[in-house]
Amino acid sequence: MSIVKPGPEMKTRTATFVLSSALFSAALMSAAEELPMFGQLPRLAKEWIVHEKGTNRTGPIITSWMILTNAQTGDVLSFYEEKHGNKPVPKPTNQGPWTEMAISLFPGGYPAWNQPAARRIKSSLWGRNALVDLAKGAVAVESTTVWEEESGAKRLSHAFGLASGELRLYVQHTSANIITPEFAEQMADGLIELGSKRKAATVFPDPDC
């Protein structure tokens, strides 16, 4: 049996296919959104659309948030950052503000201080918190909550609270359907990865800048 070596034309077609696949994948992703203090967030598919974002300062405490909704599924993805001065935030613990974030920040996915009238939450029916290990040895508080809207409809959310330098971060995925924690965990791992790059850039700044 003879082996046919790829000629220049075949190599060109292969390279074109790889480039086309990369461009197609890039076209399916939206431009990365940012939080004011943390910076770039993990990239999302184009069906994720910014619903609202904002920043609030109360004395030395600065908070920012971003809410995205999925145009196909109606799911909600919520990001939050909080800063108390410039000291590094201690590792998360399964108590205090880390567990309170799961029920106080984004009931049903939307900010507690700005609930859509049609999606207003009546109460949380069930909740669970646990310490988990994420990427790069980071520790996070994983939360699962079942919400009940005033209409009686139910919503399920999975969330992760983590520390990144001087910031306390929180990401929550909420849906009217049964969902697993994987997507929220993927976002949390992405935050850890981006936070590590952010820290490295601070320690070793670009000499060309």
Read off the CATH number of the domain in which 181 is found.
3.40.1000
pLDDT at 205 > cutoff 70: no
Residue 73 within any structural domain of the chain: yes
Residue 19 within any structural domain of the chain: no
CA distance 188 to 161: 8
Residue 166 within any structural domain of the chain: yes
pLDDT at 203 > cutoff 50: no
How many domains does the chain contain in total? Answer: 1
| Token pair of 58 as six digits | 């109360």
Write the single-letter amino acid at 145: T
Residue 7 within any structural domain of the chain: no
pLDDT at 32: 82
Percent of the chain with pLDDT over 90: 75
Poorest-pLDDT segment among 54-63, 151-160, 197-206? 197-206
Between 7 and 137, the higher pLDDT residue: 137
pLDDT at 135: 86
Residue 2 within any structural domain of the chain: no
Bridge partner residues of 149 (DSSP): 121
Domain that holds residue 171: 34-203
**122: pLDDT confidence band, cut at 50, 70 and 90?**
very high
Read off the pTM. 0.83
Report H helices in the chain: 8-27, 97-104, 182-203
CA distance 39 to 35: 5
Q: Answer left, alpha or beta for residue 8, where phi above 0 means left and psi between -120 and 50 means alpha.
A: alpha
pLDDT at 11 > cutoff 70: no
CA distance 173 to 193: 19
Give the sign of the dihedral formed by CA 90, CA 92, CA 95, CA 101: positive
pLDDT at 19 > cutoff 90: no
CA distance 159 to 76: 12
Residue 16 within any structural domain of the chain: no
Residue 12 within any structural domain of the chain: no
What is the average pLDDT value for the chain, to the nearest integer? 86
Per-residue CA distances from 35 to 71, 107, 123, 168 (Å):
21, 20, 28, 12
**201: pLDDT confidence band, cut at 50, 70 and 90?**
low
pLDDT at 12 > cutoff 90: no
Determine the average pLDDT of the residues in 183-205. 82
Residue 75 within any structural domain of the chain: yes
| Token pair of 38 as six digits | 């943390």
Q: What is the pLDDT of residues 142-179, one digit of tens each?
A: 999 999 999 999 999 999 999 999 999 999 999 999 99
Per-residue CA distances from 79 to 92, 151, 200, 207 (Å):
17, 25, 22, 32
pLDDT at 25 > cutoff 50: no
Per-residue CA distances from 9 to 2, 19, 65, 153, 189 (Å):
19, 15, 51, 58, 41
> What would you report as the CA-atom Rg of the chain, rounded to the nearest whole angstrom?
21
pLDDT at 10: 44
